[in-house]
Amino acid sequence: TGLDRKISFMPSQNDQRLFHDDAMTEFIKYRVKEENPNFSEDLRHEELTDLRKFLSSNINIPGELARIECFDVAHLAGTNPTASMVTFVNGEPEKSYYRHFRMRTKKSRSDTDMIEEVFKRRLMHLGDWGEPNLIIVDGGKPQVSAASKAVGEGIALVGLAKRFETVVFKKGNEF
């Protein structure tokens, strides 16, 4: 695959002083492509395989990780609540599937209420937006619990807690 070969990324000492950070990045990209033209595809495939291995010991993911959707909610001191959805297809961000949600519910501005609303609205569009294989929510147990109320058992769901980038998942009624 080319991943097991040693690649020399660094220019000679004399050339280093000529490079700025951007130029160095471009030089590295050039050397990687020169050594393995499929490097980014190989790396993406390897990362998706590693993610699947990590998650499969804890949750059931039917099929391939072809479509991953990531959700985050935000507000400014309780005002202007919004949420966003970013979609990855085969490990690549698909910008045409980016969605922005303005919160309609006025009764509560908590993250969990907003997540529940976003997922109810998202699930109404499974036919035209496609069905994800995995959903990642920015948040811990409360956010995953709120999302799982709306999503149910049909789609794999995990949370990414900010404190130590801990992966949170629900198995039955436990985390």
Measured between alpha carbons, how far is 34 from 28 in angstroms, rounded to an integer?
10
Positive/negative CA dihedral, 40, 41, 44, 49: negative
* Structure confidence at residue 40 as a pLDDT band (50, 70, 90): low
pLDDT above 50: residue 152:
yes
Strand partners, 68: 88, 134
pLDDT above 50: residue 1:
no
pLDDT above 80: residue 28:
no
* DSSP code at position 154: S
Better-predicted residue by pLDDT, 121 or 168: 121
Please spell the DSSP secondary structure of 25-51, one letter per residue.
Answer: HHHHHHHHHHH-TTHHHHHHHHHHHHH
- For helices 21-35 and 39-56, give the axis angle rounded to 10 degrees: 90
pLDDT above 70: residue 8:
no
pLDDT tens-digit series, residues 47-99 = 777 777 777 777 777 777 788 899 988 877 767 788 899 998 888 888 999 99
pLDDT of residue 2: 47
Instruction: Give the rounded percent of residues in the chain with a pLDDT score beyond 90.
Output: 5
